[in-house]
Structure 1
Amino acid sequence: MTEHTVPTGADARALVLDVLRTIAPGPALESLRPDDDLRDVLGLDSLDFQALVARVSERTGLRIEEDDYADLADLAGWVRHLTS
């Protein structure tokens, strides 16, 4: 089992934004608020969301379960998930 370090809120936010830049670059990403729905604001479809989950999981070493997806609808949810 791989041990991981729990990131700070700022680090978690930066990580998710970095991954999102590879999936949905553009001006909407730069003005993204913590509670904005990622799928709506960035136009993510289910494949984009799966790519986000996979890439964040790869970079953090955390397993992200399908049961967690509802909590990962916005940036604030990602930060909470990654820092808990």
Structure 2
Amino acid sequence: MFGDGEWIGHRSAQQAARLQTWLQRVQRPLVIELGAGTAIPSVRHFSQGVVAQGGRLVRINPREPQVAHPRDVGLAAGALEGLLAIAAHLPQT
């Protein structure tokens, strides 16, 4: 990736295969994007693929938080700020 001569391609392929197997087994996956922008959209492409298969998305990005589906959530915040805001609304255990 990005011209890395030390990249171990077979490990990436194995990880991608495990991810696809897991995604096929889960019923309602949720992607939480942290800071993924449009300049290098690979993370966003992944998220959009999960949403297209019935998953949901929480996008945390200070400048580009927009989401396409009304059931998804876009937070205009940095990663830590957004995660702490979500945690503040979860039941305490």
**TM-score, normalized by length of structure 1?**
0.29
Greater RCO, CA 8 A, separation 6+: 1
**TM-score, normalized by length of structure 2?**
0.27
